[in-house]
Each structure stands twice: as structure tokens, then as C-alpha cells.
Structure 1
Amino acid sequence: MDLNENPNIKHFQKGKKHYFSILREDGKKALLTSKGYGSAKTRDNGLQTFINNLERLEQEEKNDHFYFLVKTGNNHILAKSVPFFSDHERQQAIDLLMQLFDEQEGTVPAEAEAEEEQKTADLPPKYSFRLEFYVSEEQKPVRGKIEYPFTKEKKAFNGIDMATIETFLRNYLPATLEEESKKMIAAGPSSSPPALPANTEKQTATMTPSSPGEPNERTAPAAAPTTRSKGSVSPASNISGKPAPPRLKDGIPISPSAAALDFSFIDQQTGAEAGPQLRRSGPNKILLDLDRLEFSRDVYTDLSVSIFGMPLETGKKQLLGRNDFKTSPRQEVIMPLDLARLPGTGTCKFELLIRL
């Protein structure tokens, strides 16, 4: 179905601005409304951008009301929901929204979808930076500033300081295999591998269940994982010492009767336990415990934590939960997750997204 023919999508104009709204199941009341666009064409493009960025959905609370909104990678708000009176009501609206556009994506012909996936697979990851210079007659040399919009991290400098610019870029751009090889050769065989940047956009890690009743003897590394590759998962056998975790492409059992519902995130580069823990809390619920998350920081930082689940039988990623935490030495960072929202009782892969 064409997006313009979808009964749950309403287009309207107010003054000189064009908007779209996503309607409830009855097709009458709106769940959310977009920002204003200058033309119908840019509004239609904005609707497609909105659909493509649904995984960036965020939740917030204000004045005893519950909202959700969708942003771009540069933190620009695309659309914001109406206020809800409870988190349950808001979650029902999110589920409806995801279901609506899951069905929309399912109407794409298989050949076109495969072709689009091939095009996307050929594209390298994109990193955007903002570089600004300030010139005045009274002040010389020029003053400069570089910013990574995704994290709002900034660095000011004087003149055209290429060394500062390069250092800033290297904090966020992944090192190439050639660069890493040169570093390892220069460092020698006995040196430790170079430290990874602390500020991460995304953490996707292997998760290994711990056998019930057995102590977990592995220790967390000094920094959280920064790998972006998809993690594989596997059931753990008898754990002793610090063995390299097995890596099978089986997923994690999510059946309420599964014996192992306690999991650990594993850094894919070191094979060591990375800190965040998932532990059992009832027949089909788990708790995400981030108290052991470790990374280099001078002060305690606000965390925005999202976790997604993808049942292997459906292949569709779902948002299981999202919370904002203001960390302090005394506050626990615990996030409840309800596996009952995942369809089926097969296996599932999880993805953890932490924004600092």
C-alpha cells in the first residue's frame, strides 16, 4: 500500500506548513504529529525518514504525562506523540506504531527488498562532523571548533590546528585494519592492545547465559565494549577459570521454561565479561543491571539506555525498553524487561544501545 493511501496516516496543512499524523486503530484520533514542513514533497520525504528512524524512538515523562518521540541521527525531532496518562497506554501506542509500519514494510515486493538490501550492504558507515571557524579583525589567529553532533561532544582550538582536528576525529572513527596492524607492529608482541574510545554510539555485544547455581568467575574489563559488529550468542556449559566463550549462531532461549535466563554481555574483541548484566526476574522477565558498566569518565554521566530483541523466527527487531538514568555513586541502574512481549518461545538476539 502507498503511504499516501494508508488510512492510519493523515496529511494536513496549517497555514504555510505541511504535517503528517499517525492515527489510532479507529482512524480518528492521532497518536503523534510531525513537525511542520515547507512543502508537501518535503513532508512526504519526512514521513519516509520518520519510518526509517523508528528504532531511534525515545520516551520521556513531563508533568505527570507520558510521551514518545522519534529523532534523526543528528537529534532533530521528526514527530512527537500526544500525552498519555500512563506508561501502559503509551506502550500500547508504541506497539501499534511498530505493527503498523512492520506491515507497511511487509508489502514491499521481495525482489525490490533484496535489491535495496544489497544497495545498503554496499554502503560504508557514515560519520558526520561539524567544523566551524570564527574570524574577526581584532582577534587573530582564527578560532575553530569541531563537533560530533551525535554525542554533542565539542573541541575548540586556535588557528587551523590539524593535529587537534585529527585527534578528535580518531576518537570516533574506527581504525582501519592497516592502522591497527601498524600500531601492533610498532608496539611489539608484549604490549597491550591500544585502548578503545570511551564515548560509544552503540554497543552490540555477545551475550552468554550463565548456568544456574554456578558462580561466574570471569571479571569485567576496564572499559565497556565499543565494537559495532553483530554479536552471536550461545548457551554456556560448565564455567571454570576464564575460558573463551563458545560462539554459536543459535540465539538465546526466551521460553519461560528455559533453565538459563541469567546472561552476561561479552566484549567480542577480548572475550571478557563487559559489565552489563541480564538476570532472571520471574518466569519470563529479566533485569538489565548496568551497575557494573565501566568506562573512562571524569564525572558521573547521564545514560540513555535502549535494548532491542529480535526473535529469530520472525527476524524483526523490537524495542523492549528504554530508560534515561542520572548516574551517581549510590543510584542503581536497573532496567526491567518483559520478554512476554516477544512473540513465540524460540530464540532471540538482543542489542544494547547506550548513549552518553
Structure 2
Amino acid sequence: MTDIQGLLGDEAKDLLTFTAQGIPSEDLVLPGPDFVDRTLSATDRSPRVLRNLQSLFDHGRLAGTGYVSILPVDQGIEHSAASAFAANPRYLDPRNIVELAIEGGCNAVASTMGVLGAVSRRYAHKIPFIVKLNHNELLTYPNHYDQIMFGNVEQCFELGAAGVGATVYFGSEQSDRQLQEVSQVFARAHELGMFTVVWCYLRNAAFKKDGVDYSVSADLTGQANHLGVTIEADIVKQKQPENNGGYTALDFGRTDKLLYSTLTTDHPIDLTRWQVANCYMGRVGLINSGGASAGKGDLAQAVRTAVINKRAGGTGLITGRKAFQRPTSEGIELLHAVQDVYLDDSITVA
């Protein structure tokens, strides 16, 4: 097993023993082996959606825990193939992407329709597919924050997908249209029996003020999550919060002082718990993103993110660039280290 305490370093005691000061864990719907039966079976999701969600929770090293570890590789579009794969060109081949997810013990692989369609007959029955349907292609000049559909739900169904994913850039000029498009996509996916995953990202230059990036503030990302679950996402993907007070710093929107005085503190577990709370108190799973690859410290950073997510009441991690932008053996090691956090019974919800 991974030396989690060693990787956490000086933060180990604080992160592993912290007790939540805002929203108590007793108020949350927590992950567990019976999550689909206990929580999702009471929803309007069809038996086919429940079956595909159960297949997600039953796959990989985390099978039967109620937690998920997902490999996402859609950066070839959003960040350019060169910036995504130059460090490890073998992942330009879709087969190697799916093989990394399988060998890495992931619950699912999330990628583009082209990637998963290229290998669907070989792998769709071996690991759950999540097709990411919309993207921000950055050949438009000047670049702009928009997500456009690259395919339709029927194509995802035909290639054997268990779920579909889509991004909404909340705060961008196009967010209203994206929200409507993704809502329609999710409704159709549920009709066909696939679960839904929404990437709830904030994009607006105005969210950066006085050197602070409030697009990763707990209050603004929490609201993005709340909008995501409103369109019936089954899983929300969100960046882990790095600060709070976006509403107040930007003098924007509406909030309540209790959020900053009572419901959260500046501790990362409390901040992430506010994200969980906005996912209907955990009835919709929160998965945090693993973030960009920074090199040597990636393993420790991924473990730290996983510990915070788990102790906050989250459902798992979606880790891409930290895994595939390095030699395969190291990528597998990193994925296993993240999973070891969720397999460690001594790491409990705060």
C-alpha cells in the first residue's frame, strides 16, 4: 500500500485528523457499497441507468467501495494534442489510453467519441466508457470560452458507452446556451439508459481579482455544482477549492454571511465539503479533478487531493494528465496511490 502519511508530509496530522467545523458528516449522504440501492434507486433514474451506475461502482480496484477512480483523456482537443501528448506520444493511440485505465485499476475511462469509438469493440465490455461529448476547440482565433457538441447521444449509445459527460463553462458568455444543450443531452442519455457526468468549471477573466483566482473559490464552485445537479447530473466533476469569498470579493451575485462564518472555515476539507453539500448533500457524487501535471510532486499532490475529497464526503478522483503524461509504470503507480486512499479504512469522513 502507498505511504499516504509520508506523501502528505507536514500536513499529514492536520489532514488525517481534522474534524469538520461547518456541515457535520451526519447530515451527508455518504458513499458506500450500497450507494445505488440506498440513494439512487429512489430517484427517477431508470433501471438501465441504475445498472450502468452500478457497473461503474463495481469495476476496478475500488469495486464495492462506493468510490470511483476515473481516467479522463480529452486534452487533445481542449489543450491541443501537442501539449497533451508530447511528453508521452504513445497515448496518441486510443488503445493505450484504455489500456492505462484498465491496468491502472480505474472504474471507468472518460474520453472523446473518436478515442472510444476507435476501440469500442475491443474494450467497451471490459471497462465502462464515459464519452465526453462537448469540447472547447482552441484553433478558433482569438480563443474564447465555449463548449460545442462534437456528436450526439445516440452515437455514444451505439459505441457501448455506460455514461456521457459534458462541460458547462459557468460564468462565460455562452454558459446559458451550454446549460440548455447539456440538459437536453442528459435527458436523452437517461432515456437510453446511460448515466451523466457534468464538468462544472468556471470561466471568466473577471473571476480573477487582486491576484486571486476566485474561479476555484468554494462559494462559486459550490453554486456551479448546484446548477449541475439541477440538470440531473449523476456525478459532478469539480476542481477542488483553493479559497473562498468569490461572491464578496467580486461584489457579485447573492450569498449569505453564514457561509463564511459558520458553514465553512479556511480548511480545505471544510471548503470541499461545501462543494459536496451543493451536490444535494452527497446524493450526487462529487469527484474532484486531479489537475495539471507539475512533475516530481504529482504523486504527493494527487494523494493530498484524494484525502481531502474522501474526508469531505466526496466520491472520488478523476485523474488524467498526472497519469498519462509520464511513463506508463509511473502512471499506474499514481492511479493506484489515489485508489489506496479510498481503500484505506483508517481514512474516514471528517
Higher RCO structure (Cα 8 Å, ≥6 apart): 2
Larger Rg: 1
Q: TM-score, normalised by structure 1?
A: 0.25
Query: By percentage of residues, which structure has more strand?
Result: 1
Query: By percentage of residues, which structure has more helix?
Result: 2
Q: TM-score, normalised by structure 2?
A: 0.25
